[in-house]
Chain A
């Protein structure tokens, strides 16, 4: 299973979990699996057309999926995904 790291602001929607194990051969499948496991997170990360919201970034390892193959980026079991949200506190 791949894991998705959840940042603090979004943990309210994953029952407090900081990492969620997900199934999927692509980033898209992994994200869909995350939203099935934790439906409340969906509107915070996905647009209605299924694309990531523009203020949410998803990294595979240390690379932004936008610079890879986007949601079609293939995943291996050992891959780690990380959601990076916009935060503005100062």
Chain B
């Protein structure tokens, strides 16, 4: 591909060409550059749309998921017409329509230790738009090993973080967070929810930073972490420094190859995946329905937040949100059989661990949560 701009491209990018910091030379730089966007969800959507519109010559998209209706509240690259289709294909079609002059490479596969180095090899910059810790650590370590910038963004409910990690000149993600949290301690967006526009704010900041890095202009967020809160409308910045004990970029680094954290981490790899406490503790919705029809029915313990009960609820269930369960254990009868549930089975699995460690023995986890009940037992209930 020539880096000269055609007349059509000059017209398309005229608002860039008018900015002295970009100009014709900058636009040619963008055309000659490439970016790998890991995740085409909430963050990946605005990142990919803006980088495509800006004329980055080649964009790589990595995702193995399909478009779900519950994605459309925030994943604006997809649409109702692409529900059920592969996310990378849905996104590629949208980007080709937005800018037919660029090349879009679709990788319909999970980003793992096996393929991360291969996929990332041919791109100038990595953009972390994933929804799980396992892939964030892979993206970071990959970028450190390859000496490439990693444009980071992460979101939860109303909070967002953004930075540019470049171990050649600043700290990496592991300098700040040496290791991922243990399973269940940090809820995913599927459990905790997220304001739909939040990834728009953080994703456009990531796109801005990627353009600055590729153009070599301005001061990118290297060595700085942006903390955004949508409720307070606050933007705070803190300094990040290289951690001399960093296991991947420090002087005594001992991580020399990519690590798959998926199992250790226990964080759902996809935002609608739900965990489980293990088969021995699980009861499925149909089994529970038959148990409830018999005498001595088990107590139903709903560990969701009170506002979720407005969406769906089970009769006679006791509601104690997971966050307050530890303080309410004495109110529960450990001699009575109990079935714990939440939206999809992840929080109830954590609740079960808490109950078992407190000596409760007759406890079960409703596999798939109230959504599974809505799917198989009571179809009048909505799935959320």
Taking the closest CB of chain B, its distance from the CB of A36, in whole angstroms, is 15
Bound CA–CA A47/B155 (angstroms): 25
Q: Taking A44-B185, A89-B156 as contacts, is the C-beta distance between A55 and B177 under 8 angstroms?
A: yes
Q: Tell me whether B156 and A87 are in contact (CB under 8 A).
A: yes
Residues of chain B lying within 8 A (CB to CB) of residue A59: 238
**B238 in contact with A62 (CB, 8 Å):** yes
8 Å CB interface, A32-90 against B: 40, 44, 53-55, 57, 59, 62-64, 66-67, 82, 84-90
Q: Of residues 216 to 275 in B, which have CB atoms within 8 Å of A's CB atoms?
A: 225, 227, 229, 232, 236-241, 243, 267, 271
Q: Contact check: which of A7, A12, A62, A64 meets B237 at CB < 8 Å? A: A62
Return chain B residues, CB-CB under 8 Å to A85: 186
The reply on B60 being an interface residue by CB < 8 A is no
Given contacts A89-B189, A90-B41, A90-B44, contact A55 B130 (CB under 8 A): no
Distance in angstroms from B257 CB to nearest chain A CB is 21
Inter-subunit contact B156/A8 (CB<8 Å): yes
* Contact A88 to B267, CB < 8 A, known contacts A9-B186, A54-B179, A62-B239: yes
Task: Judge whether B94 is part of the interface by a CB distance below 8 angstroms.
Answer: no
Q: A40-B324, A64-B240, A90-B39 are in contact. Are A54 and B178 (CB under 8 A)?
A: yes
- CB-nearest residue of chain A to B202: A90
Task: List residues of B (164-207) whose CB comes within 8 Å of A's CBs.
Answer: 176-181, 185-189, 192, 194, 199
Tell me whether A17 is interfacial, beta carbon within 8 Å: no
A59 to B238, CA, bound (A): 8
Min CB–CB distance B75 → chain A (angstroms): 10
Contacts of A40 in B (CB 8 A): 323-324, 326-327
Determine if B348 is an interface residue (Cβ-Cβ < 8 Å). no
| CB-CB under 8 A for A8 and B158, given A84-B227, A88-B267 | yes
B194 A82 Cβ-Cβ under 8 A: no
B50 within 8 A of A: no
Do residues B154 and A87 form an inter-chain contact, with CB atoms below 8 A?
A: yes
Beyond A18-B232, A40-B327, is A67–B186 a contact (Cβ under 8 Å)?
Answer: no
Closest B residue to A80 by beta carbon equals B236
Contacts of A18 in B (CB 8 A): 232
A57-B176, A57-B177, A90-B131 are known contacts. Are A63 and B44 too (CB-CB below 8 A)?
no
Is B187 in contact with A9, judged by CB distance below 8 angstroms?
A: yes
Q: Is the Cβ of B155 less than 8 Å from the Cβ of A87? A: yes
Given contacts A64-B238, A67-B241, contact A54 B157 (CB under 8 A): no
Nearest-neighbor residue (CB-CB) of B178 within chain A: A54
CA distance A81 to B225 in the complex (A): 15
Q: Is the CB of A84 within 8 A of B156?
A: no
B237, A55: Cβ atoms under 8 Å? Answer: no
Residues of A within 8 A of B188 (CB): 88-89
Nearest-neighbour CB distance to chain A for B202, whole angstroms, equals: 9
Interface membership of B344, Cβ < 8 A: no
**B129 interface contact, C-beta 8 A:** yes
Judge if B26 is at the interface, Cβ distance under 8 Å: no
Q: Considering the chains assembled together, what is the distance between the CA atoms of A18 and B233 in angstroms?
A: 13
**By the criterion CB–CB under 8 Å, are B238 and A90 in contact?**
no
A88 near B324 with CB under 8 A, answer no
Q: Which residue of A lies closest to B134 (CB)?
A: A88
- A residues sitting closer than 8 Å to B (CB atoms) are 7-9, 12-13, 18, 40, 44, 53-55, 57, 59, 62-64, 66-67, 82, 84-90
The 6 A-B residue pairs with the shortest CB-CB distance in the complex, in nearest-first order: A89-B189, A12-B323, A90-B131, A87-B156, A55-B181, A89-B155
Interface residues of B (CB under 8 A from A): 39, 41-44, 128-133, 136, 153-159, 161, 176-181, 185-189, 192, 194, 199, 225, 227, 229, 232, 236-241, 243, 267, 271, 321, 323-324, 326-327
Extra contacts, 11 of them, besides A44-B185, A88-B188 (Cβ < 8 A), are A9-B157, A9-B192, A13-B323, A40-B327, A55-B179, A63-B238, A64-B176, A89-B192, A90-B39, A90-B128, A90-B199
26 contacts between A and B (CB under 8 A): A8-B157, A8-B159, A9-B156, A9-B187, A13-B323, A18-B232, A55-B177, A55-B180, A55-B181, A57-B177, A62-B236, A64-B176, A64-B241, A82-B227, A84-B238, A86-B133, A86-B177, A87-B161, A88-B156, A88-B188, A89-B42, A90-B39, A90-B44, A90-B132, A90-B155, A90-B189
